[in-house]
Amino acid sequence: MRSGDFAREERRVCLLTGAGGRLGDAFCQAAYTEYDIVAVCRNRIPAAPSQHEWFVDPFAPEIPVPENDSRIFMIRADLTEKGEVERVVDLAVARFGRVDLLVNNAAHIGLQPRGIVDGDATLDEFEPHFAVNVGVPLRLSARLAQRSWVHDRDENRRRNRNIVNVSSISGSEVFPGGQALYASSKAALNQLTRHLSAEFDEFGVRANAIAPDSFPSAVPTEQVVQAIVELDRGTMTGGVFGVGGAPESSAGGRHSRAGDRPS
């Protein structure tokens, strides 16, 4: 094996949704030297080096710059459209050969400040909230398992493969401002995470969620990024972990069995 191949083998491959948003952008900028990242975005793109950019120092064009070591592979997609989840999973596996970490970060939030009974605004917002905040994580997890993980138990455990769902403190608390649908969808995502953990344990894939307080107003975005990386490096599964929020939101997780720990 060539040295470059070995280095490539050791890099973890992350499939990240919502890559153009505040958290997705921060993750790409913080982690592109450590991970190969499949960055899925719909409108905005992450402000990080990708296959679309090549950097040159104008004062020393012959000297390599670290930004070109990026392995960010950007895909534009609306994951609620038919066939887009499958296309993204197929492209990710074709580009890097595997996915070690799935971060379900894309989210829809539409507030109804006048409450649930004010006209049809709340009813109209039901589908987009649950389609993006619950349906997309469910479909990506299922398709990735079907196409790549379900028959690869030993490799899953060796590479400590896992899912991190980005939830919210709103999934366990009631806040004013018309968050009923957003909060309900995040509560559903928390419970989906627990079921993914229980079912995917059979083939050695972990699943957890983080439930941060508002960022960057209450919690630095960098702290949320670090929480994702720490979960990826750990052995926990089935937990919903608060980031700057109420302590009770971190309950429910468990460590993998001793035999499940990565080598």
Active site residues per annotation: 182
In one-letter notation, the amino acid at residue 181 is L
Return phi, psi of residue 114, to 5°. -95, 5
Q: How far apart are CA 73 and CA 92, in angstroms?
A: 8
Relative to beta strand 236-237, strand 254-255 is antiparallel
- The torsion angle over the Cα atoms of residues 112, 113, 117 and 122, rounded to 10 degrees, is 0
DSSP-assigned letter for residue 14: E
Q: Per DSSP, what are the bridge partners of residue 16?
A: 39, 103
Cβ distance 38 to 75 under 8 Å?
yes
**Angle at which helices 180-200 and 121-130 pack, to 10 degrees?**
20
**Angle at which helices 180-200 and 136-144 pack, to 10 degrees?**
20
DSSP-assigned letter for residue 257: P
Q: How far apart are CA 156 and CA 193, in angstroms?
A: 18
